[in-house]
Amino acid sequence: MKKESQKGSAHAIIIAVLFVALMATLGVVFYQNFIAKKDTDTKPQDTSSNTDVLQTAQVAYASSIYELDHPNEWTATSEKVKSGSLDGNKLVVVNKDGTVRVTVEISNRTRTDACNTADELKLSYYDVHETAVKNLAPSTLFLVESISDATDGGYTYKIGLTPDGGDTHTSIGTSHCTVQHVGEVSNVIKSGAKITQPAITATIDFPLLLAVNETKVKSMQPVKDLIATGDYKAAVAIIESARKK
């Protein structure tokens, strides 16, 4: 009898140990899946990346400074513009793989208004962004995207900040001349020999889209494909940040 009693006690002890182990295991599982997870979920997530870090680049002309903001991984360079009587500076900002470029030029360049409306070349693609840019020039500016028929086939494209006016209120099917001033922010204004308002151009283009000496694309689709990229959207933010300091 004593031996059987000892055997029963041993079984009870084993069962008790197994029960305690089971409860401990369930406790750990409960903590990991509910308590610890809840604590983790309440911690703010760090979603920052290099694309969120902006740098400011500047270009000067006479006594004025113009600037814009660009992502950290984009490259900004300032270049001299000099050809004959043309004199100025430009700021060029390019994405990492060189496919998208923003250019802001400040100079004494005189705008030409000549355009042949009788050539029957039409505007084939057109879009105007809603953001108003008010701190770069005297006029309110909007970013215009345009693709027009080219002579002997193909297409030319223009993308740039444009004063609110004819070039921002046209439509597909009209003459390509209706967007001839896209990207021309302001014309040069002089008081005697002194420039009171320099000529400013602000454009976006795709450097690798055309081969050297090419001026037109065979199809509109490659331009539209680049317009749909994230880097193009970044370029839009860059050019819309342009301002006079």
The total number of structural domains that make up the chain: 2
Q: Is residue 121 part of a domain?
A: yes
The reply to whether 142 and 24 lie within a common domain is no
136-172 burial string, b = 16+ CB within 10 Å, else e? bbeeebbbbbbbbbbeeeebbbbbbbbbeeebbebee
The reply to whether 11 and 95 lie within a common domain is no
Quick: pLDDT tens for 53-98: 899 999 999 889 999 999 999 999 999 999 988 999 999 999 999 9
The reply to whether 3 and 104 lie within a common domain is no
Note the pLDDT of residue 3.
Answer: 46
- Rounded Cα distance, 148 and 211, in Å: 19
Quick: pLDDT tens for 141-168: 999 999 999 999 999 999 999 999 999 9
Q: Is residue 48 part of a domain?
A: no
Residue 148 phi/psi, 5° resolution? -125, 160
The reply to whether 240 and 218 lie within a common domain is yes
Range of the domain at 31: 1-43
Q: Indicate whether 22 pLDDT > 70.
A: no
pTM over 0.85: no
